[in-house]
Amino acid sequence: MTARVSPAREATTEAARQAAQPLPNSNSIRLSWREWAITAFVFLAVLVLLSMFWPATGTQFVCADYRLPSDLSSDYWMFRQWTRYGLAHYPAVILGDSVIWGQYAKNDDTLSHHLNALLGRTVFANMGVDGLHPAAMEGMVTYYGGALTDAPVLVHLNPLWLASREQDLQEAGQGETRFNHPKLVAQVLHRPSAYHPTATEVTTALLERQVPFLSWKEHLIATYYGGMAPTEWSLENPYMLVSEDRGPSSFSAEDPGSPPMPWRERGIEPQDMPWIQPADSYQWHAFQRTIRVLKSGGNRVFVLLGPFNIHALTPASQARYQAATAAMAKWLTREHIPYYAPPVLPTDLYGDASHPLGEGYRQLAEELFSSPSFREWRKSWAPDKPHTGGEA
Amino acid sequence: MLFHSWPFAVFGIVVYLGYLLLSRTRLGLLWLLAASLFFYGWAGPRFVLLLLYVIAVNFAAGLMIERSGRKKLWVAGTVMATLAPLLYYKYGVFGVESWNAAAARLGMKLGLTVPTILLPAGLSFLTFHALGYSIDCYRSHLQAERNPLRFAVFVAFFPKLLAGPIERASHFLGQLAPRPKRPTATDLAEGMSLFVVGLFKKVALADYLSLYVDKVYSAPDSFDGLTLALATFAFGWKIYFDFSGYTDMARGVAKALGLGLALNFNNPYLATGLGDFWNRWHISLSSWFKDYLYIPLGGNRKGTLRTYCNMLFTMVISGLWHGAAWTFVIWGFLHAVGRFATRELERTRLYRERVPRLLKQLWVFLFVTFAWIFFRAADLPQALLIVKRIFTTGLADPRFPAAMLVLCLLIWTYQHVYESNAKHMLEWAPVRVGATAYMLFHLVMFGSSGSQPFVYLQF
């Protein structure tokens, strides 16, 4: 601009002067730097204190054979609380998906229960989480499993996660086969091919892992708002601020997730699962990383490989399955990781392709209990005195 | 790229840090322009060419208007060349559909194929930015800008590019000349204050209210009169929070960069007349129409009848600016009628001195809310259905969330106090700090990570 037209010059000079002034406003919310610092302090203090001292652990963990309710399987804050409580009251934990959780079993008919029964005391805490495939387990252990440090951990590997490209997260599934726990899988490096998150989803997942308040918020949403955003929940419950009959204690984990009946009775026919060989498997590599994370955290790790329901496979599929599990066992041996690959259970003791029924868990516990590798592993950390914690 | 999204958070930080480094150099303006073009091209890179076209036409026009003896010819050509993309993209489909409907009604077989046209975001806004400049040059209110970079930043400056405020060149270009000032820590603190208020309005209030509004307006024949009325009230607040929230965020981002944008909303639901409402609602657009349409038409200088004709024409055009549909035309018409009424009422001593202020505010709010039905409805039959059902159906439990009602009442009370003698209470530091901390907490606690687009981005 030149000074040729003086009104314009005056206007621009006035505009520049105005720019240096506080803007006109329609409210009084205008903070100085000092006030912003105080605001940030107040805000952060509220977030930290709330998520630290929120009494959401309640009393539900204290019951025998506690397991995280399947409705809260995406409540990672609750998982963290459970590992903290569990490691303070149980000498060891069993980590895995719904096979460990006990999809077709009551909470007193699961693997952890039957192992504890054989041991004559409460030793193993059931830390199975519905849908926790190996890639999700890696995230769970890394970001929410801090309390597991130095603990003996029996890790279950459900081979089902290598059964197909969809299960192996190499291809996106449809509808119900859409994979579980996307917030737990790698968001940037090592991201599964089947996962195509938005930038917002990636950022949210990364922040939730690092900021305990955010996972606590998800816990509140899961326990008090039925898993819905509070705003959407208020549309259905217009005259309430929170659900009156909710809270962590209102979720029961005693009953099975599905009715216990043999797989044949469900109308399941033997399937020709293609099976991904471990060298090409995303889930297997994630499982290997999980083991490394646990070992680097001082954990004494034991791997339970299977038992998969090979009765539900065609002969050709059985052969591919055997090749895959043999390769896994080879790696575990090479890495000196104690493991046990139990023989297949009788066909009627499975509820589907991978989940045993209650009696199947009892037999599996006996198999495991009598296996030399398990006994040796247990001796490496078993306390001399009987442990009585965890009982109701 | 929405202001309340993670990509914008990253973009904003990068642009701010880069601008801090470059603002004292000649590269400062270039950085702002590059950031603005990137911002505009985020959703659809091809529309950047359209933006550059509008910039080029009006930059050249400013110089030609100033130098040429045929100013009128140049400004007319510029107006047509600038409006042409807007007419095509925004009104092309509406024009063809209206033509087809008229032809069908008259029994003529002259129907045209309805084209599929994607409206570039913010086209109405950037068109008005640029046009205002060229007309100001024509009127010699402004000297033509010689620096193309500075002019490009004026038109394309990203915080205001998509939904305003519609800045006047005399206000904004002055801040860029000879070189924009370096942003200060005070600018950042003030910008953050504005941004947080805007974010709260959008995410905590507008998006929340829209849940109820969308549910009811998606099936109006399923709801009773009371529910439809409450949904319309909710929409009135939703669109206010949505648009003023956007403006607050835009002003906040600009202020953090050391640049001031005009106030666009000034508690419009406290207006005591329709004229007052339009002095408080979308101020930059209503003043644009006033300066570049209403006054050139003669304003109020040519008698009462002509004044009302001018007012009617301006409001109908304003309605059409918001959207190419007959519902917007009716919305504009209703506001024109409301303005006539309040203008006449305000001339009477009884109304001015005897009617309580709160009563005036209430009736203006009710009138504006009624007009929103035509703004929000999908089409004219739906709008008429809603009006009919509001007045003829029952009072079934509307299931309006109590939390929603409490939030709206709190904001309304805050605004009343802010415009009262008790304003000093709100300026007390603990109140400001407490309110800001609460807004942040509310956003983190109840804000959804899923972003809903701003209503005004479609205009």
Would you say residue B129 lies in a domain? yes
The verdict on a CB contact (< 8 Å) between B403 and A241 is yes
Q: Are A68 and A203 in contact (CB under 8 A)?
A: no
Is residue B82 domain-shared with residue B190, that is, in the same domain? no
pLDDT, greater one: B43 or B63: B63
pLDDT at B413 over 60: yes
Question: How many percent of chain B have pLDDT more than 90?
Answer: 61
* Pick from A8, A14, A23: CB nearest B190: A23
DSSP state of B178: S
pLDDT of residue A335: 95
Q: Which amino acid is at A238?
A: P
Contacts of B403 in chain A (CB under 8 A): 234, 241
pLDDT at B163 over 90: no
Judged by CB atoms within 8 Å, which residues 391-430 of B form the interface with A?
399-404, 414-415, 418, 423, 426-427, 429
pLDDT confidence bin for A54, thresholds 50/70/90? confident
Determine the residue of chain A that is closest to B416 in CA distance.
Answer: A27
Is residue B229 domain-shared with residue B178, that is, in the same domain? no
* Pick from A31, A214, A230: CB nearest B446: A230
pLDDT confidence bin for A60, thresholds 50/70/90? low
Would you say residue B1 lies in a domain? no
Backbone angles phi, psi at A92, to 5 degrees: -145, 165
Is residue B62 domain-shared with residue B150, that is, in the same domain? yes
pLDDT, greater one: A258 or A159: A159
pLDDT, greater one: A223 or B82: B82
* Pick from B189, B260, B435: CB nearest A36: B189
Is residue B163 domain-shared with residue B254, that is, in the same domain? no
* Pick from A15, A22, A42: CB nearest B175: A15
Judged by CB atoms within 8 Å, which residues 264-293 of B form the interface with A?
265-267
Q: What is the tens place of the pLDDT at every residue in B79-132?
A: 999 999 988 888 888 888 888 888 888 888 777 777 777 778 888 899 999 999
Contacts of B185 in chain A (CB under 8 A): 33
The verdict on a CB contact (< 8 Å) between B193 and A238 is no
The verdict on a CB contact (< 8 Å) between B251 and A23 is yes
pLDDT at B176 over 90: no
pLDDT at B322 over 80: yes
Is residue B100 domain-shared with residue B154, that is, in the same domain? yes
Decide if B194 touches A, using CB distance below 8 A. yes
The Cα diameter of chain A in Å comes to: 99
Is residue B171 domain-shared with residue B282, that is, in the same domain? no
The verdict on a CB contact (< 8 Å) between A39 and B436 is yes
pLDDT confidence bin for B67, thresholds 50/70/90? confident
Give the residue from B127, B126, B140, B166 showing the smallest Cα distance to B72: B140
> Number of residue pairs across A and B with CB atoms under 8 Å?
169
The verdict on a CB contact (< 8 Å) between B263 and A25 is yes
* Pick from B143, B186, B441: CB nearest A46: B441
Determine the residue of chain A that is closest to B214 in CA distance.
Answer: A235
pLDDT at A251 over 50: yes
Determine the residue of chain B that is closest to A234 in CA distance.
Answer: B401
Domain that holds residue B304: 186-458
pLDDT of residue B193: 95
Q: What is the tens place of the pLDDT at every residue in A310-363?
A: 999 999 999 999 999 999 999 999 999 999 999 999 999 999 999 999 999 999
Kindly list the domain boundaries of chain A, sorted by start residue: 65-379
pLDDT of residue B142: 87
The verdict on a CB contact (< 8 Å) between A29 and B444 is no
Is residue B307 domain-shared with residue B367, that is, in the same domain? yes
For the segment A156-171, the average pLDDT, to the nearest whole number, is 94
pLDDT of residue A7: 47
| Rounded-to-integer distance, Cα A6 and Cα A72, Å | 70
Judged by CB atoms within 8 Å, which residues 127-186 of B form the interface with A?
140-143, 145-146, 170-175, 177-178, 181, 185-186
Considering B132, B155, B182, which residue would you say is the last residue of a domain? B182
Considering B182, B216, B248, which residue would you say is the last residue of a domain? B182
Q: Are A183 and A202 in contact (CB under 8 A)?
A: no
**CATH architecture under which domain A65-379 falls:** 3-Layer(aba) Sandwich (3.40)
Is residue B177 domain-shared with residue B195, that is, in the same domain? no
DSSP state of A349: G
Who contacts A244 (Cβ-Cβ below 8 Å, separation ≥6)? none
Q: Alpha-carbon dihedral of residues A372, A378, A381, A383, nearest 10 degrees?
A: -120
Contacts of A30 in chain B (CB under 8 A): 190, 193-194, 432
pLDDT at A22 over 70: no
The verdict on a CB contact (< 8 Å) between B432 and A28 is yes
Is residue B86 domain-shared with residue B225, that is, in the same domain? no
Q: Are B141 and A8 in contact (CB under 8 A)?
A: yes
Indicate the number of domains in chain B.
2
> What ipTM, to 2 d.p.?
0.84
DSSP state of A170: S
Lowest mean pLDDT across A16-30, A347-361, B190-204: A16-30
Q: What is the tens place of the pLDDT at every residue in A87-112?
A: 888 999 999 999 999 999 999 999 99
Lowest mean pLDDT across A55-59, A365-369, B353-357: A55-59
pLDDT at A286 over 90: yes
Return the active site residues of B: 322
Q: Are B144 and B62 in contact (CB under 8 A)?
A: yes
pLDDT, greater one: A58 or A7: A58
Determine the residue of chain A that is closest to B440 in CA distance.
Answer: A43
Would you say residue B175 lies in a domain? yes
pLDDT of residue B53: 94
Nearest-CA distance B348 → chain A (Å): 29
CA B282, B285, B288, B290 torsion: positive or negative? Answer: negative
Contacts of B238 in chain A (CB under 8 A): none
For the segment A73-82, the average pLDDT, to the nearest whole number, is 91
The verdict on a CB contact (< 8 Å) between B404 and A234 is yes
Peptide bond into B7 cis (omega under 30): no
Contacts of A239 in chain B (CB under 8 A): 402
Decide if B189 touches A, using CB distance below 8 A. yes
| Rounded-to-integer distance, Cα A114 and Cα A208, Å | 35
Considering B182, B212, B240, which residue would you say is the last residue of a domain? B182
* Pick from A22, A29, A199: CB nearest B197: A29
pLDDT of residue B43: 74
